[in-house]
Structures are given as structure tokens and as C-alpha cells.
Structure 1
Amino acid sequence: MNVSCECQNVVFKTPLAKPLALYICHCHQCKRQSSSAFGASAIFPRFPLPCPEFLAVYTRPTASGHTVNCYFCKTCGTRLIHSTPGKSVVSVKGGCIEGLDWKMAKHIWVKRAMVPIPEGAEVLEEEPDYDPYICRTTDLLENGKMDAGAA
């Protein structure tokens, strides 16, 4: 999948043809970061940071006690990637990705939602502690039992 910031200084392809998961997050941090009613995050296996010369980082604590590195374009300020040290996955900001299948999205932190959640959407009151699909797929990729194109 093609990813780019607003000014096109940062352009890259995701390591898989589709994300392991797609979350529409209604937490306070995502609302502030996106300047909107929610944020969108596509989850991919960790990959090398693209175009590091064009990226800056803002590091912040999370509600769960972790630290998250928030990478954004130095020129236009578009937030592109979130990465938590020690985790095997990263979050690519959904609005920067061409061709996402939004029907697969899970809505999280819905207890803080400012807009109606689509009928039939999968919802969680807060964030998932554990997503078995992500854990299983990441394990298979890391152990060479699954081709990245098949995930």
C-alpha cells in the first residue's frame, strides 16, 4: 500500500498488501493528534523507518504506561507512524494510506466517541489488550512460516 505525507516528502510502501488490523480510535490523544473526532491506525509488522532524514519524532507516554514514538514529516507536519519500543508492530496513520478497506475497521475507545459508530461495526469500549489475529500473524511472519504478501 502506498503511504505519503501531505507535501510528498515522505513516500513509502507498507510491508504488507493490507494491514494486520485497522482501528478507528476515539480516545482523547487520537482526537487531538488528528484534530478530528477520531484517529485511524493501520497496524503492520515493524519495518525500518522510511525516509528518516525527512522525519521528526515526538515521544509521549501512553495511558497503559508505555512510550510511543510519533513520527511526522519535518516539512508539512503530517503524522505518519507510531511505534512503541519493544513491540513487533507499528501503526501507520490511516489517512495517509491509499486504498484501505475501511469495512475491516474496529472502533476502539467508543466510550469517548463524539460521532455515531456505524451500525454493525466491531466496537471496544477501550483499546484491545490483545488481538489474537495480530499476535498470530506477527508470530508466523517472524518465524518465516508466512509470506508477507499473504498476511
Structure 2
Amino acid sequence: MNVSCQCQNVVFKTPLPKPLAIYICHCNECQRQSSSAFGASAIFPRFPLPCPEFLAVYTRPTASGHTVNCYFCKVCGTRVIHSTPGKSVVSVKGGCIEGLDWAMAKHIWVKRAMVPIPEGAELSEDEPEHAPYICRATDIRENGNEKMKAGAA
């Protein structure tokens, strides 16, 4: 799948032709990050950080006690990838992916939803149960881009 930021400086292909999962997240952090009622993320196996020369990172704690690295384009500010150290997957922000099929999307953190959840949609009141593929230890920066440290802008 083709992915790009708004200004097209960050452009890459996903490692699989379709995501492992798609989440429409209604948590407060995703509402703030997207400046909207929810955020959308497509889950893929961890892959080398694309276009590191155009990416900056904002690191923040999560509600579950982890840390998430939020990578965004240095030029246009588009949030592109979220990575949690120690997890074997990353989330690519849904609005950056061409042709994403939303049919398999699961709504999460619906207890904080600002908009109605579609009838019949798969949902979780808060953080979803994690699939086994999430727990294998890796780090997105293990691709030779050690100069890209968390907290660097």
C-alpha cells in the first residue's frame, strides 16, 4: 500500500498488501493528535523507518503505561507512524494510506467517543486485547538510523 504525508516528502510502501488490523481510536490522545473525533491506524509488522531525514519524533506515555514514538514529517507536520518500543508492529496513520479498506476496522476506546459508533461495528470500550504478534521485542530504529533518537526534533 502506498503511504505519504501531506507534502509528499515522506513516501513509502507498507510491508504487506493489507494491514494486520485497522483501529479507529476514540481515546483522548488520538482526538488531540488528529484534531478530530478519532484517529485511524493500520497495523503492520515492524519495518525500517522510512525517510528518516524527513521525520521527527514526539515521544509520549500511553494509558497502558508504555511509551509510544510518534513520527511526523518535519516539513508538513503530518503524523505518519506510531511505534511502541518492544512491540513487533507499528501503526501507520490511516489517512496517509491510499486505498485503505475500512471494512475490517475495529472501534476502540469507544467509552470516550465523541461521535456515534456505526451499528454492528466491532468495538472495544478501551484498549483492545492484543494479538500475539504485538509482543515480539524489536525497535523500529534497528535499521541503522541510530541518529534518529526519541525526543529529537
TM-score, scaled to structure 1: 0.87
**Residue 52 of structure 1: how far off its partner (Å):** 0.1
**Residue 128 of structure 1: how far off its partner (Å):** 1.1
Question: Higher helix share goes to which structure?
Answer: 1
Structure 2: give runs of 5+ residues left out of the alignment: 137-153
Structure 1: give runs of 5+ residues left out of the alignment: 139-151
Matches within 5 A, 1:81-92: 81-92=81-92
- For residues 118 and 63 of structure 2, what CA distance do their matches in structure 1 show? 26
Secondary structure of the residue aligned to 1:29 is helix
In structure 2, the residue matched to 1:24 is: 24
In structure 1, the residue matched to 2:140 is: none
- For residues 93 and 130 of structure 2, what CA distance do their matches in structure 1 show? 20
Matches within 5 A, 1:2-151: 2-131=2-131, 134=133
- For residues 123 and 66 of structure 1, what CA distance do their matches in structure 2 show? 22
**Residue 129 of structure 1: how far off its partner (Å):** 3.1
- For residues 122 and 69 of structure 1, what CA distance do their matches in structure 2 show? 27
- For residues 57 and 124 of structure 2, what CA distance do their matches in structure 1 show? 29
Paired residues, number:
136
In structure 1, the residue matched to 2:142 is: none
**Residue 72 of structure 1: how far off its partner (Å):** 0.2
* 33-42 vs 123-132, which moves further: 123-132
- For residues 130 and 33 of structure 2, what CA distance do their matches in structure 1 show? 24
TM-score, scaled to structure 2: 0.86
Q: Which amino acid aligns with 1:33?
A: Q
Q: Deviations for 1:80-119, whole angstroms, at most 9, x for unmatched residues?
A: 0000011000000000000111111000000000001111
Q: Deviations for 1:20-50, whole angstroms, at most 9, x for unmatched residues?
A: 0000000000000000000001000000000
